[in-house]
Amino acid sequence: MPCVDSEDLVQRAGRIAGWAARTGYSLGRRLPGADSAERSLRTLEQKALGELRRRLESAGDPYLATLNHAPSTSRNVANGQVKSRAVTVVSPDEPLRVAMSELLNRSTGLDRDRSRDYLYAIILRQLTPDEARILAALADGSPFPLVDVAERSGLGAAGRVVLRNASTVGKAAGVSLLDHVPAYVTRLVGLGLADIDEEAPALSTQYEILLTDDTVRAAERMVKRARFVRRTVRISPLGVSFWQACAPN
């Protein structure tokens, strides 16, 4: 088998994943030879994920690295000369303080681009595969309907919320765990990659479809009288920058 370098491996996996998202998994399973293609895709996906993990680990984890050592000096290069500067030294018996000390020490040697890459790498490590699919679906800037299910109060207003951030974006993205889409959307918003906005009347049909979703219907049964709060979810400015930096070619 010819050798495939890591850069090509990641790009190939990205192209195949993009094709799968566009064509839909259910369609692919009906094509001749789909089982073999699926196995090849899974193998390539595992190799790509392994390569990504290796890259991120080689860049250094701010928490794992600090458990091994805490540097007492940092080196800055200016005008061709190496300058050492004293930094805070913390006992290795206090791993949380060591971790903070290491981050502060690293901040003195990071320029704007490296700081951005560091932030994006940390965010990337927190994403699940399903969340990456959702972000890819949001990447073109299109809004998706979002619904909260609350208990209707005596005055008709929303009271206790029993489900937040249910959305059709998960089904559109082809995620594996559709019942976890509210949690995925909540995490993406928490990471700053997605924003929640007002209701979009143009999506009225999609809202009606969302109200028939199993997760939404289950939440509706939890209250005597349900009230549906309609909103939208879309990619955030940080999400746009993050996607442009991380999206497979």
- Domain contains 122: no
- Domain contains 181: yes
Pull the structure tokens for residue 160: 């206790």
Q: Domain residues for 30?
A: 6-59
Q: Are residues 214 and 239 in the same domain?
A: yes
Q: Are residues 219 and 163 in the same domain?
A: yes
- Amino acid 25: pLDDT: 43
Residues of the chain short of pLDDT 70, as ranges, are: 1-92, 154, 156-158
- Amino acid 130: pLDDT: 97
CATH number at residue 232: 3.30.110.190
Helices (H), 155-213: 169-173, 181-190, 204-210
List C-alpha distances in Å: 136 to 21, 221, 247: 9, 32, 8
Pull the structure tokens for residue 226: 């349900």
Residue 91 and residue 69 in contact, taking contact as beta carbons nearer than 8 Å: no
User: What does DSSP say about strands 194-197 and 226-235: parallel, antiparallel, or unpaired?
Assistant: antiparallel
Using alpha carbons only, how large is the chain's radius of gyration in Å?
A: 23
Closest CA to 8 of 56, 48, 36, 61: 48
Q: Are residues 136 and 238 in the same domain?
A: yes
Residues 6+ apart with CB under 8 A from 244: none
Q: Are residues 148 and 237 in the same domain?
A: yes
pLDDT tens-place string over residues 123-156: 999 999 999 999 999 999 999 999 999 998 767 5
- This prediction's pTM: 0.66
DSSP label at residue 202: G
Question: CA geometry: angle at 24 spanning 209 and 208, to 5°?
Answer: 5
Residue appearing with tokens 């940092």: 74
Q: Are residues 147 and 225 in the same domain?
A: yes
Distance of CA 159 to the CA centre of its chain: 30
Strands annotated E in 62-157: 73-78, 81-86, 144-152
